[in-house]
Structure 1
Amino acid sequence: MSNIGVWESAEPGVKRCILNAAGELMMMEVHFEKGAEGYQHSHPHQQMSYCLSGSFIFTIDDVETIVSAGETIAIPPHARHGVVALEENSALLDTFTPIREDLLKR
């Protein structure tokens, strides 16, 4: 059973909802409290993150970039990356290819 359309806790102060997954493409919305962190990790999927609201510090392979509402950042496959929310009510729209089977089957 998949969890599409279901909000779930990720890390402390972070919740996410897979909006859709079809073919090789998946989209997920992620909400953060101020200071909440998406822990450093890597995966074989290509990722693009669009900042819906607030702002974030993304760290991708030890390079920090600030992304604010209306901006997008690309994360290459296998890059070590993480994010910290700089403002309350910060949110991202994450897109992955291929789909993240590891997140669908939780």
Structure 2
Amino acid sequence: MADYPIVETGRDVTRQVLSDHPDLMVVAFRFARSGAIGPLHDHVHVQSTYVESGRFRFTLGTEEREVGPGDSFVVPSGQTHGCVCLVPGTLIDGFTPRRDDFL
């Protein structure tokens, strides 16, 4: 089992790869305070997001949705997305294929 570092990705936001394979990667994003931002971006990877804890307002394309513990959704390849943390917590994201830029 690999031991992956915790990487700061923004103010009060960290990322840690939990597991990876060329076809799939699982990553924890931890938000330490309300108001922390996962900036709008897009990528070729299909992404699934599971809310382990906390509360978040996500922008998915032209739609906004609020999600909390136990919620999950899929972000299609190329869709612009990002979030604002409403209550500190953790998102577990799956990416296919693997995000080599996270290694």
Same topology, TM > 0.5: yes
Distance of 2:69 and 2:101 partners within structure 1: 28
What residue in structure 2 maps to residue 22 of structure 1?
21
Residue 40 of structure 2 aligns with which residue? 40
Secondary structure (helix, strand or coil) at the match of 2:79 reads coil
Query: Is the strand fraction higher in 1 or 2?
Result: 2
How far is the alpha carbon of 1:62 from its aligned partner?
2.1
Q: Deviations over 1:21-74 (max 9, x none)?
A: 113000000100211000000000000000000111110112101110011011
CA RMSD of superposed structures (Å): 1.3
Q: Is the 1:37–1:84 contact (alpha carbons within 8 Å) kept by the matching residues of 2?
A: yes
Aligned residue runs from structure 1 range 78-97, under 5 A: 78-88=78-88, 90-97=89-96
Note the residue ranges of structure 1 that are not aligned, 5 or more in a row. none
Note closer, same or farther for the CA distance 1:28–1:4 as it changes in structure 2 (3 Å cut). Answer: farther
State the TM-score, normalizing by the size of structure 2: 0.93
Q: Contact between 1:67 and 1:73, CA under 8 Å: does it hold in 2?
A: no
Runs ≥4 in structure 1, deviation > 6 angstroms? none
Shift of 1:5: 1.6
User: Structure 2 stretches of 5 or more lacking a match?
Assistant: none
Number of residue-to-residue matches in the alignment: 101
Find the residue that maps to 1:44 and give its secondary structure. Answer: coil
Report the Cα offset of residue 4 of structure 1. 5.3
